[in-house]
Amino acid sequence: MRETTDVPNRKSRPPPRSQGRLAEPKVAGLHALVVDPHDDSRELMAEMLRQAGCRRVTLACDAATARWHLRAVSHDLVVTEVRLPDARDFELIDRAQAEGLLPQATAVVFCSISRWAHAAIRARGARALCKPVDFDQVLHTVRSLMRAV
């Protein structure tokens, strides 16, 4: 059974304030899709995005469920683990791009990353996050992606 959850933003604490930077891209109000086969990682990333101000965070545990969500609802941001049980390496990203489903803001999460993988992610217009991720790294990456859109 595939696990999916669509959870509205729960404000457990206010998002961090920008530290004097001008024209920071807005994270508040974004609809994000988090794809990760590991329950703990998926929930942690979702909570980080909620704390950053995402309006809605949708969860998927595999590529098939992620593609279903991408077809059903428009997302502003996708954060995905590259190693999914039903997809090889960049298959989710490549198929979603080919079908016109992938938003311009895409982050790929790795347990470990090589120079080849980092270059492959950049070639796809995405950004890399290496596990373990922390809140500041997620926020910086999301802002960087939104600035590029």
- DSSP SS3 for 50: helix
- In this prediction, residue 14 has a pLDDT band, given cuts at 50, 70 and 90, of very low
Nearest-10 Cα torsion for 57, 60, 65, 66: 60
Q: How far apart are CA 94 and CA 30, in angstroms?
A: 23
Q: Is 4 within a domain?
A: no
- In this prediction, residue 142 has a pLDDT band, given cuts at 50, 70 and 90, of confident
Q: Is 74 within a domain?
A: yes
Q: Is 8 within a domain?
A: no
Q: Is 71 within a domain?
A: yes
Q: How far apart are CA 50 and CA 32, in angstroms?
A: 9
Residue 99 belongs to domain spanning? 27-148
Q: Is 12 within a domain?
A: no
pLDDT for position 73: 93
Total count of domains within the chain: 1
